[in-house]
Amino acid sequence: MSLTGGNRNDVTQPLPLLDKIPAVPGRVGRPRRPPDALLTDRGYDHDRYRRLLWKRGIHPVIAERGQPHGSGLGIFRSVVERTISWLHGFRRLRIRWERRDDIHEAFLGFATCLITHHHVQRLCWDLEVARR
């Protein structure tokens, strides 16, 4: 995870964030390091970012300014927006009050565990109901 200060502009952070992505294990051999593609919104619609992503071997999928909304990226962004909404359900994460990064990351990890536990419980309950 990449934790930045509260007053940093998001547009300055995609490359440091990409550098923090861990290697993805799976198939036999060397783990895949960079993602195949990066989906972003209109705020990143600059040729500079496209060039830097192509140099890293990443296909940029960037919504273009001036195009009507509903260009197709919303399907994938809804997953991210929903997850952020779940995390904002925890008041302590809505606004970062902690000065220390490790404490904030601990609360973020705890919230993620609680969200996952809730969804696993719901999945188990749905399976139990389906068996009846």
| Percent of all residues in the chain with a pLDDT value above 90, rounded to a whole number | 11
Candidates 115, 45, 39; CA nearest to 84 is: 115
Residues 6+ apart with CB under 8 A from 1: 20, 105, 108
pLDDT at 113: 94
Distance CA 114, CA 102 (A): 18
- Higher per-residue confidence, 109 vs 37: 109
pLDDT at 9: 66
Model confidence band, residue 1 (pLDDT cutoffs 50, 70, 90): low
For 62, the enclosing helix (H) or strand (E) is strand 59-62
For residue 36, pLDDT beyond 80: yes
Distance CA 57, CA 105 (A): 30
Cα–chain center distance at 83:
8
For residue 128, pLDDT beyond 70: yes
Condensed to tens digits (0 to 9), the pLDDT of residues 48-81 reads 888 888 998 888 888 777 777 765 666 666 677 7
Q: What is the DSSP letter of 31?
A: P
Candidates 9, 42, 35; CA nearest to 20 is: 35
Alpha helices by DSSP H, the chain: 14-19, 47-55, 74-88, 91-94, 101-131
